[in-house]
């Protein structure tokens, strides 16, 4: 499929697909006349690329993730897993805090030991 169709299917501008190709992240095949041609496999890889960007991965990290034998692949994945786990912990703490605040009896959050403990934890991370 042509670049315009892929751009439409992924809801990205054509120049973004060209950039991803130029950066070597997802490299399209070329027609005899030099136009980019995308297969369903390219489309699948581009969707993975978008998902990885959605969680904050850089193009260099994504390029490594998409290539099984790439040097640094395991490190990039391990780094991202660590980051996701840290975010999960922070979100869980925030959820606990907000759940507590709904029923907190104190007129000021600073007078509540649980609220103050959350603020201290948040400041130290």
Distance CA 83, CA 109 (A): 29
Task: Note the pTM of the prediction, 2 decimals.
Answer: 0.72
Give the CATH number of domain 1-71: 1.10.1660.10
Q: Which residue has the higher pLDDT, 24 or 103?
A: 24
């403990």: which residue's tokens? 117
- Residue 69's pLDDT is 86
User: In the 8-state DSSP scheme, what is residue 31?
Assistant: -
List the chain domain ranges: 1-71, 87-125
Query: What is the tens place of the pLDDT at every residue in 69-123?
Result: 888 889 888 988 999 999 999 999 889 888 888 888 877 767 788 777 777 776 6
What would the pLDDT profile of 50-68 be if each residue is shown by its tens digit?
Answer: 999 998 889 988 998 898 8
User: CA 84 to CA 42: how far, in whole Å?
Assistant: 26
């Amino acid at each position: 499929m042509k670049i315009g169709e892929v751009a439409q299917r992924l809801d990205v501008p054509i120049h973004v697909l060209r950039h991803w190709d130029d950066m070597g992240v997802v490299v399209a095949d070329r027609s005899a006349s030099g136009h980019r041609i995308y297969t369903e496999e390219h489309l699948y890889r581009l969707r993975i690329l978008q998902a990885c960007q959605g969680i904050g991965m850089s193009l260099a990290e994504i390029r490594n993730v998409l290539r099984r034998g790439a040097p640094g692949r395991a490190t990039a994945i391990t780094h991202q897993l660590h980051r996701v786990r840290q975010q999960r912990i922070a979100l869980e703490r925030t959820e606990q805090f907000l759940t507590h605040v709904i029923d907190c009896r104190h007129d000021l959050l600073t007078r509540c030991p649980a609220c103050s403990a959350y603020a201290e934890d948040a400041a130290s991370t």
